[in-house]
Amino acid sequence: MSELTFKIIFIVAVFGISLFVAMYTTYAERKLAAFLQDRLGPNRAGPFGILQPLADGVKLFFKEEFIPRVSDRLLFIAGPAIFMCTALMTSAVIPFAPDLEINGTTYAMQAADLNVGILYLFGVVSLGVYGILVGGWASNNKFSLLGAIRAASQNISYELAMGLSIVSLVMVSSSLSLRDIVDQQSGWAWNILYQPLGFLIFIVCAFAETNRAPFDLPECETELIGGYHTEFSSMKLGLYLFAEYIHVFISSAVLASLYFGGYQFPFVSDLDPGPVKTLLGGLVMFAKTGFFIFLFIWIRWTLPRFRYDQLMNLGWKVLIPLAVLNVLITALFILF
């Protein structure tokens, strides 16, 4: 199998896995929410309701496609598309499993090993906010606009703190490639042990970047009706909602890779390269990702949401100074 063929197959597989995981994250979210709230949750479509995501998708496709007369038609359609594309693009640099070696050929379990992987990730995630901004603005609705503005300012504010927390991580690992960072954390040498504060800042920012509770201000349904997606219907709404779950999946994978060793796990790291190691490594990676997805859901159904000014205060007055402090502390440790 040529490398190109393998890459294409792998990219399609990653694509499929991202969509599949996102799909079942919606199911997990509903089931977990039901569990936390002492309810049953979806249980009609298939055994234990496992076909519910499919049913939801089909339902959304059959809904009326509504485009407000006063909206900017082109941007209105472009908004959800941009949001979905950028969400899917982020998975390119994530190393999902250790390299697979068959008959002397090495197959990397990563779509693209960029030497600036983290920067790429960062850039693409930042692009995602354009989807929200464009969609919210094109709707020509005040609630949508408020949601879009909130999303934009929130993402900009939290990206700074997130970037600074990654700076100190990069200082520890001296590489921008996600793969190098994961490879350095073999066994128990996970970055969380060296960067506990950085991890806390990063996870708070990850919640804000994915627009999940307690930072779900752009779409908070009790104030802004639906926020930036108030006017969207049918699968356009579906894309917005669905892309959020892809973001959750990718953020969880990034959290696992950057701070929890990705596919590294004590015995798995010691195995010889081969199908077994790849498989186990992949499982470890997905277990860690699953844990973070669970964390995302758990927090959403526990905490109330912030108010807009409090969110900004937290970002600018707490997280950024802390992140700078973290950079300084890390620098001191490296120096001495």
Partner 1 sequence: MSAMKTNQEFLAELPRLARPEIPYTTLNLGPTHPATHGIFQNVLQMDGERIVHGEQTIGYIHRAFEKIAERRPFYQITPLTDRLNYCSAPINNMGWHLTVEKLLGIKTPKRVDYMRVMVMELARIADHIICNSILGVDTGALTGFTYVYQWREFIYEIYEEICGARLTTNMGRIGGFERDFNEIVFEKTRKFLREFPAVWQEFEDLLLRNRIFMDRTMETGAITAERALNYGMTGPNLRACGVDYDLRVHEPYCSYEDFDFQIPIGTTGDTYDRFVIRNEEIRQSLSIVRQALDRIESMENVFHADEEHYYLPPKQEVYRNMEALIYHFKIIMGEIDPPVGNVYHAVEGANGELGFYLVSDGGRTPFRLHFRRPCFIYYQAFPEMVRGQLLSDAIVVMSSLNVIAGELDA
Please tell me whether residue 148 adopts helix, strand or coil conformation: helix
* Region from 118-126, 190-198, 216-224, 264-272 binding partner 1, contact rule CB under 8 A: 216-224
DSSP secondary structure, 119-182, as one string: HHHHHHHHHHHHHHHHHHHHTT-HHHHHHHHHHHHHHHHHHHHHHHHHHHHHHHH----HHHHH
- Measured in whole angstroms, the distance separating CA 247 from the mean position of its chain's CA atoms is 3
| Nearest to partner 1 of 212, 277 (CB atom) | 212
Among the listed residues 111, 220, 241, 320, the single contact to partner 1 using CB under 8 A: 220
d(CA 326, CA 318): 12
- Pattern of binders to partner 1 over 129-168, x per CB under 8 A? -------------xx--x----------------------
Among the listed residues 39, 44, 59, 63, the single contact to partner 1 using CB under 8 A: 39
Find the binding residues for partner 1 in span 237-296 (CB under 8 A).
none
Answer yes or no whether residue 114 interacts with partner 1 by CB under 8 A. no
Name the residue among 56, 57, 61, 53 with its Cα closest to residue 234. Answer: 61
* Region from 13-21, 37-45, 82-90, 264-272 binding partner 1, contact rule CB under 8 A: 37-45
CB of 162 within 8 A of CB of 207?
no
d(CA 305, CA 113): 37
Answer yes or no whether residue 214 interacts with partner 1 by CB under 8 A. yes
How big is the site for partner 1, counted in residues (CB under 8 A)? 26
Answer yes or no whether residue 213 interacts with partner 1 by CB under 8 A. yes
**Contact residues: partner 1, CB under 8 A:** 33, 36-39, 142-143, 146, 213-214, 216, 220-223, 225, 301-310
